Structures are given as structure tokens and as C-alpha cells.
Amino acid sequence: MDHTAFIFPGQGAQFVGMGKELADAFASARAVFEEVDAALGENFSSLIWEGSDDDLKLTANTQPALMAVSLAVTRALEAEFGVKVGDATYVAGHSLGEYSALAAAGAISVGDAAKLLRFRGESMQKAVPAGEGAMAALLGATIEQAEAACAASGGVCEIANDNAPGQVVLSGAKAAVEAAAEWSKENGIKKAVLLPVSAPFHCSLMQPAADAMAEALATTELKSPIVPVYANVTAAPVTDPAEIRNLLVEQVTARVRWRESVEKMAAEGVVNLVECGAGKVLTVMNRRTVKGLNGTALGTPSDLEAFAEAQNQA
């Protein structure tokens, strides 16, 4: 498991029914969903598996749901196949996925992660009145071009996600983001697409949510993770609980530096990125960031079996 990082997806990877096969196949995976149900005080699993797409898309549901599926993967890997997160070099997660990474590395309990993510989703939703914020993906843009688009927007418009070469997401006030998207089209950027999101994540308009998370995190127990966690805010590994707490607060308004995180992990010798949870959004993005990185997405029992078998043969 040397040279391996476990990575955890963020919002946008969700789909109704995710994780159901894992829960049916493995008691260890089922136990994670039961833990999340108990923490949230509701039959949350049924919303994930049988609910409506609209309900799952509500950010206060999406965030704990994706974490639950990711942790079902890592717990089943360990319990059924003896593959341990602690044997990896790093863990990292995209936005809310950072909470999944911390829970997988033992820095936070699954129940606390579920409660924090539910609260994080609610706080982000409340931070900006509906319809006042927006996000846009700039395809084919460099960071410098994205920064120029923000500067030309005439309002609050910031880089929210640096996902991969040629994939940068802007966030901010609706009029400013729309102006930046228009500027992009006129200044040689291949495509600017407004995203169907419920709030402008990872920009300074989220400050009320960051303040709320600071209070919630202050009373949550955080331990040192068993492997270093690559933080979104710094694109650097962190193990100190006090620093992790501060970075999680900062993360609400700060840029998700995913491209840099992947580049730096690769520079430090990571060759295998193993995506745990719903879909394979990160695996597809990472291929564009560092050529030659091995990407594996684990979301079903057969994925886990194949991965464990490959580990045993290695």
C-alpha cells in the first residue's frame, strides 16, 4: 500500500441508491449507515437508497450521504478484505470529502462527521439567499485566465475549485459570476458553464457558514489522523488536530486546491489514487492532472473484491 492515497469525492458524485449494494453485501458497511441514521436521528439510509433525486440533491442531505457511502467502502475494505486506510501514504477529500478522509483516518467519528456535514450543508444554504449566488465552470482555462475573469467581473467572484488543468470553477454573486462567464467567452476560454447549484460554495459570501462551522467544530472531538490528510486549503499534509480544525473552518470560504494536491502527492511518490465512494468524478479529473497516475474507483462489492485481490498479488 506504499505510494497509495485514498481519496474521497465531494458534491456532484451523488445518486439515489448509492451504497445499497455495499450495505447488502457487508455487515461492516451496513453498520456505517446505521451509525449515520443514529447520529442524524432519522432513517437517513432510506433517503439515500429510495428517496427522490431532489431530496438527495439538497446540500444538507448530499453532504452526509456521500460521507456515509465513502466510509462504507473503507470499513468494508478493512473488515472483509484486510485492506487498511492506515497503510496508505495519505488521504485526501474534495470539499466535503475532506470530512470523509478525516473519518476514514480516525480523526473524527462517523457520527460526528454526519452531524457536522448536515450542519455544514444547512449553514451554506442559509448563508446566501436563494438566487443571489452562482457558480460557473471554466473549461480550458488556466488559473491565470480564471483570475483575470474574476477581476473583470465587477463584483464578488472568486475561484472556488481548481480541479484539474483546464477545469476551474468560479463562485460568487450571481451578476458577477455571469459577467465573468461572459468575459471568458470573449477572451479565448473554450467554454463557461453556469452550474446547477443551490449556493455559491467556497467563496467569501460563505463567511456566515464558516462562522457557524467554527462554533460547531469547537465542541467536536478531533484526534490526530492515522495517516496525514492533504488539506484543501493548503494543498499540504496535516496531522495536528488544532490545525485541522482551523483549516476546516477556512475551507468553507477558501479555494479547493485539488489540482495542486494531486500534483504534490504525485511529486512525493504517490502513484495510486484510490477513490472511495460514489462515482468516479475524481478519478476522471486526476487523469488530466498527472499522466501515469493509477486511478481506481471503489463503489461496489465487486470493485472492492477486485482491488483487494490486486493488493494481495502485489
Residues with a catalytic annotation lie at 95, 202
SS3 of 211, please? helix
Q: Which of 58, 55, 59, 73 is nearest to 8 (CA)?
A: 73
First to last CA, the chain: 9
**Using CA atoms, how far apart are residues 58 and 56, in angstroms rounded to an integer?**
5
b or e along 173-209 (b: 16 or more beta carbons within 10 Å of the residue's beta carbon)? bbebbbbbbebbeeeebeebeebebbbbbbbebbeeb
CA distance 259 to 293: 13
Q: Is 165 strand, coil or helix? A: coil
Q: Which residue has the cell 438527495?
A: 56
The helix or strand, by DSSP H or E, that contains position 172, with its residue range, turns out to be: strand 167-173
State the residue for C-alpha cell 478531533: 222
HEC readout, 92-139 = EECCCHHHHHHHHCCCCCHHHHHHHHHHHHHHHHHHCCCCCEEEEEEE
